[in-house]
Amino acid sequence: MAVYTDVSDEDIARFVAEYDIGNVISFKGIAEGVENTNFLLQTDQASFILTLYEKRVNPDDLPFYLGLMDHLSAKGLNCPTPIHGRDGVALRRLCGRPAAITSFLNGMSPRRIMPHHCTGLGAALAQLHTAGQDFEMYLGNALSVKGWRPLFESCRADANGVQPGLEKLIEDELVFLEANWPHQLPAGVIHADLFPDNVFFFPGKDDVSGLIDFYFACNDLLAYDIAICMNAWCFEPDNSFNVTKARNLLSSYGKVRALSDDELAALPILARGASLRFLLTRLYDWINTPKDALVTPKNPREYINKLRFHQRIDSAGAYGLGEE
Amino acid sequence: MAVYTDVSDEDIARFVAEYDIGNVISFKGIAEGVENTNFLLQTDQASFILTLYEKRVNPDDLPFYLGLMDHLSAKGLNCPTPIHGRDGVALRRLCGRPAAITSFLNGMSPRRIMPHHCTGLGAALAQLHTAGQDFEMYLGNALSVKGWRPLFESCRADANGVQPGLEKLIEDELVFLEANWPHQLPAGVIHADLFPDNVFFFPGKDDVSGLIDFYFACNDLLAYDIAICMNAWCFEPDNSFNVTKARNLLSSYGKVRALSDDELAALPILARGASLRFLLTRLYDWINTPKDALVTPKNPREYINKLRFHQRIDSAGAYGLGEE
């Protein structure tokens, strides 16, 4: 959520001249997107988003992300559409970084999550999963179960300094998840980072007006994406779980793409995995973010609480749906 | 340059309903403005800027700033125009803070300053000074010569830790400036913070398309504003002084508002004062900014170099103009 790269007015004018989108009239860094630098670019024709991909994004993965947005847009999903230059190329370079212009989406991220937002979210997530089924590229999830142990090893020495007992909590959870992860569930393209920041609504409306920030998208278990959303949308600021929100999310999802019994049964373990994944990356960032960084790291403790909550659940009934 | 206050989608919809500006369709935090939270607000009618005034702005001074922008806009200066609600009120409250919506200005801040930018800047600054002459409100400059010593006392104990000898450099300079400050020069409304971030141009054009961020504006010596600009625009990144840029700034200013001999003669001391003012505030911020702050403090050393440069100047001729 920061401007990591300063793009000069001359650079942007030169860059935009490669496209058929008119002349630049305004260009502002915006507080959107976690890992990249985003600008709101206004030309005499329309508004666009210019993204510069910073070091945490692997440039080799960018064709997947942009290809996915092209694919999903063509399927009618409201997501940023990559704008192609006059030469047909969408992925270019600017200020020494990979860069792309995408369409601008109207709507706003909800700050205070209401149950009706989770209804819209569930439908949009299922539409994304359905629309992604025939996308032909493949990108594995570096932050799924196999990636967690190396991440943990890189910061385990500092874990107890963040909270006493945290090293053992993570170690035990890792052993459990590595032994029990449900690899056989339906898979496909997932968003993998569908936090409220990345979902737009119009005020007072239930339907999602747009999904953004596909830069963690990958191939993984579809229900794992639901578990990530449940963590991001269904806990209150005091860490209590709101079962109404979870029920709305799950039932609305299920109306677009039916969840199998296996998927429902796996939700608690997927939610534990989703908790551990964000606990680990937040722990890593918490330990490794220097004082003068542009971005304030998020506290990992929130995800310790979520993990502990899901450890106590033994069936999806606790999430407001399921076999009970 | 940060979003200090999170405004919910519901809050903004309710707030905008107090105005005749249409319905919100998008709302994004932008990296603009040093002390306040700024959002780019798009309605189905136009684009606007919503500013939330954070703690460093004294709420008592806001009627001056907004009144000044109203006044300057009415005089034809391209600056943000406060938008008044249906009840006629421009200064309102949102999320517990004073807040105002202003018009959106096209154009972009120049990142790489070219001599032609200083030509446009000089004319715009003189237009601002001229247009402000009949503005009826008054606000003293809390960061002029009388304010520097208290600021210094609050951080002198840490000065040598930032650079050996800095405490003595500042103390000696303060004694000199307090004894020799040219209080009798022409005064009026000054911008007092006209850094490149606050000046918009269209790419390749000389003329300024807009001036923003009037939240340090005050009544002070007009030529002191020029000295602030000279420091902000006429030094290269390696701290060398670019006399072509200074000449462009001064001569272009002089074509709109003639500088008196006294003002020209005082430029070196005003430039020393302008250097000390930003050295002191940056020193204060450098020492007092906590690790988890949203904003990275600027290094005060740049202004040590500028101060030392101006200490060696004895007439405005060195700035490319004057009696030599």
- The verdict on B25 and B74 lying in the same domain is yes
Give the chain B residue whose CA is nearest to the CA of A297. B292
Decide: B80 and B105 in contact? Cβ < 8 Å. Answer: yes
| Residue B324: inside a domain | no
Structural tokens at position B129: 């000074």
Whether B4 is covered by a domain: the verdict is no
Angular region, A13: left φ>0, alpha ψ -120 to 50, beta rest? alpha
Per-residue confidence (pLDDT) for residue B323, from 0 to 100: 41
Coil, strand or helix: which one is B305? helix
Residue range A28-47, pLDDT digits in tens: 888 776 678 899 999 999 99
User: Which residue among A62, A83, A103 closes a domain?
Assistant: A103
A219 CA to chain B: closest CA distance, Å? Answer: 30
- What is the distance in angstroms between the Cα of A205 and the nearest Cα belonging to chain B? 11
- DSSP annotation string for A186-246: -EEEE-S---GGGEEE-TT--SEEEE---TT-EEEEHHHHHHHHHHHHSB-TTS-B-HHHH
Task: List the one residue out of A70, A60, A43, A52 whose CA is nearest residue A4.
Answer: A52
Contacts of B119 (CB under 8 A, 6+ apart): B206, B248, B249, B252
Contact at CB, A8 and B291, closer than 8 angstroms = no
pLDDT at position A31: 78
Contact B296 A296 (CB under 8 A): no
Task: Looking at the structure, tell me whether residues A289 and A153 fall in a common domain.
Answer: yes
**B30 and B92 fall within a common domain:** yes
Domain that holds residue B270: 115-319
pLDDT at A125 over 50: yes
What percentage of chain A carries pLDDT values higher than 70?
96
Per-residue pLDDT at A188 exceeds 90: yes
Assigned domain for A188 exists: yes
Confidence band of A169 (pLDDT split at 50, 70, 90): very high
> Are residue B94 and residue B129 in the same domain, yes or no?
no
Chain B residues touching residue A31 (CB < 8 angstroms): 2-3, 28-31
Whether residue B288 sits in one domain with residue B238: yes
Are B25 and A104 within 8 A, CB to CB?
A: no
pLDDT at A35: 74
Q: What is the pLDDT of residue B317?
A: 87
Q: What is the mean pLDDT of residues A38-58?
A: 92
Are the C-beta atoms of A32 and A197 separated by less than 8 Å? yes
Asked if A13 and B296 come within 8 Å (Cβ–Cβ), the reply is no
For residues A315 and A3, which has the higher predicted lDDT (pLDDT)? Answer: A315
pLDDT digits (tens, 9 = 90+) for A241-298: 999 999 999 999 999 999 999 999 999 999 999 999 999 999 998 988 776 666 677 8
Instruction: Specify if A3 maps to a domain.
Output: no
CATH (domain of A24)? 3.30.200.20
pLDDT at A272: 98
B287 CB within 8 Å of a chain A CB? no
More confident residue, B321 or A16: A16
Q: Are residues A148 and A265 in the same domain?
A: yes
State the pLDDT confidence band at A200, using cuts at 50, 70 and 90: very high
> What total number of domains does chain A contain?
2
Same domain? A139 vs A77: no
- pLDDT tens for residues B98-138? 999 999 999 999 988 999 999 999 999 999 999 999 999 99
Give yes or no for B87 touching A (CB within 8 A).
no
Q: Which residues of B touch A8 (CB under 8 A)?
A: 110-112
Q: What proportion of chain A, given as a percentage, has pLDDT over 90? A: 82
| Residue A28 at interface with chain B, using a CB cutoff of 8 Å | yes
- Nearest chain B Cα distance for residue A3, angstroms: 7
Which pLDDT score is estimated for A131?
A: 98
One-letter amino acid of B264? L
**Identity (one letter) of the amino acid at B167?**
E
Q: Is the pLDDT of residue A321 over 90?
A: no
Could you say which of B58, B74, B103 is where a domain stops?
B103
Residue A81 has what pLDDT? Answer: 97
Do A45 and A126 sit in the same domain of this protein? no
Chain B residues with CB inside 8 Å of A202's CB? 25
**Inside any domain, residue B253:** yes
- Which chain A residues are closer than 8 Å to B6 by Cβ? 111
A127 and A226 co-located in one domain: yes
Q: What are phi and psi of B44, to 5 degrees?
A: -75, 0
Does B250 reach chain A within 8 Å, measured CB to CB?
A: no
**Does B253 contact chain A (CB < 8 Å)?**
no
Could you report how far apart the first and last alpha carbons of chain B are, in Å? Answer: 41
CATH code, B298: 3.90.1200.10
In this structure, is residue A1 part of a structural domain? no
Hey, are the CB atoms on A203 and B9 less than 8 Å from each other? yes
* Same structural domain, B199 and B98: no
Which amino acid does the sequence have at B13? A
B32 vs A236, higher pLDDT: A236
Which residues on neighbouring strands pair with residue B241, listed in sequence order?
B235
pLDDT score, position A324 = 38
In terms of CA atoms, which chain A residue is nearest residue B6?
Answer: A111
Residue B268 shares a structural domain with residue B188 = yes
Å between A201 CA and nearest CA of chain B: 9
* Domain final residue, candidates A77, A103, A129: A103
Q: Check CB contact of A60 with chain B, cutoff 8 Å.
A: no
A31, A292, A296: residue with CB nearest B30: A31
Strand partners, B43: B24
By C-alpha distance, the chain B residue nearest A6 is: B111
| Below-50 pLDDT ranges, chain B | 1, 323-324
State the number of CA atoms in the 13 A half-sphere of A125 facing the CB: 35
| Amino acid A294: pLDDT | 62
Same domain, A153 and A296: yes
Burial class (CB within 10 angstroms; exposed 0-12, middle 13-18, buried 19+) of A311: middle
Q: How far apart are CA A286 and CA A2, in angstroms?
A: 17
Determine the residue of chain A that is closest to B5 in CA distance. Answer: A111
**Average pLDDT, rounded, for chain A:** 93
pLDDT tops 90 at residue A51: yes
Q: What residues have CB less than 8 Å from A36, skipping those under 6 apart?
A: A4, A51, A52, A53, A54, A57, A215
Q: Does residue A110 fall inside a structural domain?
A: no
Residue A1 pLDDT > 50: no
- What pLDDT score does B32 carry? 72
Residue B125 lies in a domain: yes
State whether residue A132 sits within 8 Å of chain B by CB. no
Helix (H) or strand (E) holding A60: none
